[in-house]
Structure 1
Amino acid sequence: MISINDSHQNSDELTPDLTPLLDIIFIVMVFLLLTATVKIKALDVELPQTATKILQTTKADPITINLVASEPYWALQGQSISSWDSFNQQLLTEVKTHPNKPVVIGADKKASVEQMLKLLAFLQKNDIKATQLLMEDQQ
């Protein structure tokens, strides 16, 4: 049997050295933090404003979509459209008839965000690329 003589050894010498274990835990923790993907569910967004004039204009006669604040919410090529379904059909017809024309969206400042998101979702679903979003210069 092994006996320990307290007079020759200090009690600190009997405890294990945890430094290598802590180093490994730290390295693994850093690795996991650097490789973890974080999903962002929401962001605080401020609406963009421009202090400079945008000189770029479309060369072709664009397909214009307008969102207004009150009903009827939709207008295509300057003509008000009373229902969403009718607007969808007319927009798809216009895009199929003139596939090379750029699509320009102009929304009233007080237009519903819900209507804008509905429009953007429809454009994405039907693979219609909007080339410009009109906005007013900051004054």
Structure 2
Amino acid sequence: MIGRPDAANAGWRSLAPDITPLLDIIFIVLVFLLLTANIPLQSLEVDLPKTDSKSLSSIQDTKSMTINMLAGTPAWALQGEQYDDWQQFKAVLENQLEALKETDLILASDKDVTVDSMLKLLAFLQEHHINTTQILMEDD
């Protein structure tokens, strides 16, 4: 009831601390911590070989297959045959898995290709345990 509190209840309420401001501060800090928490980034590990620059520029093995990543469309090429989208190209790569594992794989990319295209290809190669690859680089 609204009005005067009883004498017994009035003494108990005056001794209890009001924790409403404390709860407000705790909830604000909790929301702040949740919004600023570090979000784990997904990463793809790539082991690059450590060799001298002279051996990087020459390809010795004749048993090799070349994958080209092109800017624009068509975006992909395997041994010169071009493909427009990733799903189509991925199906071709899955059909050629045994050949890709037996030969050295050469990755040649246009400088304007997005990182997304390179990561899709490297993730596919890692998923299918294809380790022998060479990435062609242009000298400055």
Shorter-normalised TM range? 0.5 to 0.7
1:114–1:101 CA distance, 2 compared to 1 (3 A)? same
Shifted more, 93-102 versus 125-134: the winner is: 93-102
Equivalence for 1:87: 89
Superposed displacement of residue 40, structure 1: 9.9
Of 83, 90, 103, which aligns to 1:101? 103
Following the alignment from structure 1 to structure 2, what is the Cα–Cα distance between the partners of residues 130 and 66? 16
Equivalence for 1:68: 70
Whether the 8 Å contact between 1:64 and 1:76 is mirrored in structure 2 is yes
Q: Which runs of 5+ in 2 are unaligned?
A: 1-39, 44-52
**Are residue 128 (structure 1) and residue 134 (structure 2) matched?**
no
For the residue of structure 1 that corresponds to 2:59, the secondary structure is coil
Superposed displacement of residue 61, structure 1: 2.8
The one-letter code matched in structure 2 to 1:102 is D
Following the alignment from structure 2 to structure 1, what is the Cα–Cα distance between the partners of residues 107 and 101? 16
Superposed displacement of residue 131, structure 1: 1.9
**Are residue 114 (structure 1) and residue 116 (structure 2) matched?**
yes
Following the alignment from structure 2 to structure 1, what is the Cα–Cα distance between the partners of residues 125 and 106? 12
Following the alignment from structure 2 to structure 1, what is the Cα–Cα distance between the partners of residues 97 and 127? 14
Q: Tell me the TM-score normalised to structure 2 length.
A: 0.56
Q: Tell me the TM-score normalised to structure 1 length.
A: 0.56
Following the alignment from structure 2 to structure 1, what is the Cα–Cα distance between the partners of residues 60 and 84? 28
- Structure 1 vs Structure 2: percent identity of aligned residues? 36
The one-letter code matched in structure 2 to 1:120 is L
Quick check: which one's helix share is greater? 2
Following the alignment from structure 1 to structure 2, what is the Cα–Cα distance between the partners of residues 104 and 93? 18
Following the alignment from structure 2 to structure 1, what is the Cα–Cα distance between the partners of residues 82 and 41? 38
Shifted more, 85-94 versus 71-80: the winner is: 85-94
Matches within 5 A, 1:39-58: 53=54, 54-58=56-60
